[in-house]
Structure 1
Amino acid sequence: MTSIRTVRRWAIRVVAGVLALCVLAVLGLVIRAKSGVMHAESEAWESVLTDPTITVEEHADAVVLHPAEETTTSIGLVFYPGAKVDAAAYARRLSGIVAEGSATVVIVKPWLRLAIVDPRGLSVFTDYSPGTESWMVGGHSMGGVRACSAAGEADALVLFGSYCAADLSDDPIPVLSLSGSEDGLSTPQKVTDAREKLPDSARMVEIPGANHASFGDYGAQKGDGSPRIGDDQMNSTVTAELLDFAEGVRSE
């Protein structure tokens, strides 16, 4: 007959084994998150830092862009980066809505550089601009998937080269989806297949010549298509779409 002492010994071994596996899993995530990081291109980042129309704040958990001449803004965007991509890599693409649209942009620095595992609520980031009236949430690639899960906390949703895992088809939230014709990761077919998870009113825009990495300034990405659009054209296209979309969100 098995003694109580033997049962306890085996129970301790099982618990110790489970804990060891958990520690190894966490260590694996940390190591994976630190490898293959796609850093912001210095020239693009510097162009935002030196833009006299924009004030840049760097925090431990976010990069915040404010219009230089305004203390409060009527609309803001909390933006989640793609997996392993620096927050600063999206600053130039999103700077137009700040400079031309008087919006506040908060680019999240996710836990482990993986937005999908970051459970923090939107208020952690909207608190950087407490006077802002309306908030959009958005993201690129995996960051867009995370943005979809936070859509219930926002007034609008913006997707860059991404699509939702959650079903928002019955949600009246305004949605802007920007994709690229040359995207080799969030391919046009994948975006089309996931269209049914967005509201019927969602604005779907495929940018000719854009690939997955065209939505940021972090260099080429493995598995991606070849871009046929330059940075200046990409910046102006993204800015124009965001300005038009934000104006509609403001008016609601």
Structure 2
Amino acid sequence: MVNNRKSSWLRKWLIGLAVLTVIAAGAFFWYVNDYYQATTDAVEALQSDESVTITETDDAITFAPNGEDPEEGVIFYPGGKVEAEAYAPLLRRLAEADLLVVIVKMPFHLAVFDADAAEAIMAQENGVEDWYLAGHSLGGVMASSFAADQSDEVAGLIFLASYPSGDLIDVPFPVLSIYGSEDEVLNRESYDEAQGKLPDDYTEIVLAGGNHGQFGDYGSQSGDGTATISTVQQQKQTVEAITAFIENSHQQ
């Protein structure tokens, strides 16, 4: 009788565990498949032309300036739950400024699942002498994690509406932080606290009228502020800031 009760209890426990597992798996599947997708403009920016050649694999998209063998490259980590293709217009403009640019296609569109993705890209593109790590939102957090661990391999770190997860005070490379004045997604309390983890000479640029989502082209982001400049204007100013940052880093 006792054994029957134990068997019945165990059977119910296993059934309950199986049900919870199915529910958890379903919730995760729903979460990772509810992501921001590239707009039509972003998809059109993925076409190669006389100035930029674009190649795409299962793991990354590369924007290479034609007729150039860039010595500087940018590895970009996309924001959380944002399709990598959504950043094509911004990254294309960087490539037009004679930079090799590679954006990582993150598993489940979340950089937390492949924070070390830059390592393989650096190994493949061995013609680049100076690599800059950049990331938007969650992508910036994870890019900073890689940069801190591989500081000898990184020439600079660029945050777009983001901040570091760990201590970067003594890193040997310069840091640039850019965000929009109308950004209501970025946690300003966490952002302000994280500034104490950055080098004293880091550069901060606030884009007047910019918001969180306009660094990419994926439509309106939930909870974001209303931008008073266009997406094109925000990205143009971002490219100008990044290229100036890279140029200045060579003069230091």
Query: Which TM bucket (shorter chain)?
Result: 0.7 to 0.9
Structure 1 counterpart of 2:133, which letter? Answer: V
Structure 1 counterpart of 2:88, which letter? Answer: A
Aligned equivalents of 1:150, 1:17: Cα separation in 2:
40
Aligned equivalents of 1:126, 1:63: Cα separation in 2:
14
Aligned equivalents of 2:67, 2:115: Cα separation in 1:
33
Output the TM-score relative to the length of structure 2.
Answer: 0.85
2:30 is aligned to: 31
Deviates most, 155-164 or 189-198: 189-198
**CA distance 1:121–1:232, shift in 2 (3 Å):** closer
2:206 is aligned to: 206
Gaps of 5+ in 1: none
Query: Is 1:84 equivalent to 2:73 in the alignment?
Result: no
Deviation sequence 1:133-188 (CA, Å, 0-9, x none): 11111110111111110113242111001111212123232101001110011155
Aligned equivalents of 1:77, 1:91: Cα separation in 2:
13
**CA distance 1:17–1:134, shift in 2 (3 Å):** farther
Question: Once the 2 structures are TM-superposed, how far is the Cα of residue 205 of structure 1 from its aligned partner?
Answer: 0.6
2:106 is aligned to: 110
Structure 2 counterpart of 1:80, which letter? Answer: Y
Aligned equivalents of 1:53, 1:99: Cα separation in 2:
7
Question: Once the 2 structures are TM-superposed, how far is the Cα of residue 18 of structure 1 from its aligned partner?
Answer: 7.8
Question: Once the 2 structures are TM-superposed, how far is the Cα of residue 20 of structure 1 from its aligned partner?
Answer: 8.4
Question: Once the 2 structures are TM-superposed, how far is the Cα of residue 48 of structure 1 from its aligned partner?
Answer: 4.5
1:142 is aligned to: 138
**CA distance 1:131–1:219, shift in 2 (3 Å):** same
Aligned equivalents of 1:21, 1:120: Cα separation in 2:
32
Question: Once the 2 structures are TM-superposed, how far is the Cα of residue 234 of structure 1 from its aligned partner?
Answer: 1.4
CA RMSD, 1 decimal:
2.7
Aligned equivalents of 2:125, 2:174: Cα separation in 1:
22
Figure out how many residues of one structure are paired with residues of the other and give that number.
244
8 Å CA contact 1:145–1:165 kept in 2: the answer is yes
Output the TM-score relative to the length of structure 1.
Answer: 0.85
For 2:229, what is the secondary structure of its paired residue?
A: coil
Aligned equivalents of 1:183, 1:41: Cα separation in 2:
20
Query: Is 1:178 equivalent to 2:185 in the alignment?
Result: no
Structure 1 counterpart of 2:145, which letter? Answer: S
Query: Is 1:75 equivalent to 2:69 in the alignment?
Result: no
**CA distance 1:171–1:26, shift in 2 (3 Å):** farther
Structure 2 counterpart of 1:132, which letter? Answer: V
Gaps of 5+ in 2: none
Deviation sequence 1:47-81 (CA, Å, 0-9, x none): 342542111011101111111212x3211111111
